[in-house]
A = this chain, B = another copy of it.
Amino acid sequence: MARQAPAAEHDDIVESLVARMRAHGDRATPARRLLLQALADKPGHLSAEKLAAEVRARAPGVNITTIYRNLYELERLKVVDRTRPVHGPATYHLASAAHGHLACAECGTVTEIPGRLFASLASQASAQYGFVIEPHRSAVVGLCSGCRR
């Protein structure tokens, strides 16, 4: 339902995130709302440049610098996750449910997988190295089913 209004569906998500920012003393600006909306609307992992394009579709004046500065702040607040693919610019997405990433070295595609697949690795890394892994920030490199052969 509401197939014609995909953006509106995420208004509540955006507002709750704006509230979260304000709780940290950050102000609620149009550019921020639009950035959060772009992150909420687009399921995939987007680069700063792509996100800027999304924001500009509604507010043409927004500079890429603003996008970077807000992404940096959002990352600090753990609202968004930043992942670096094998090649090209870093990608960003809302820090949703626990999950990890499979990044294809060949085609660059990033696939989300449930965080529980990291359970075994997580317990061993913790026990043997005192290292606490954060799957949502990690990209495990390899070859996807399409590029495998």
Contact = CB atoms under 8 A, between A and B. Distances in A.
B105 A129 contact: no
B133 A137 contact: no
B137 A111 contact: no
A124 interface: yes
A130 B142 CA distance: 11
22 contacts: A84-B84, A86-B137, A105-B134, A111-B129, A113-B128, A117-B120, A117-B124, A120-B120, A125-B142, A129-B145, A130-B145, A131-B142, A131-B145, A131-B148, A132-B142, A133-B140, A134-B141, A137-B141, A137-B142, A138-B139, A138-B140, A139-B139
Given A84-B86, A138-B142, A130 B117 contact: no
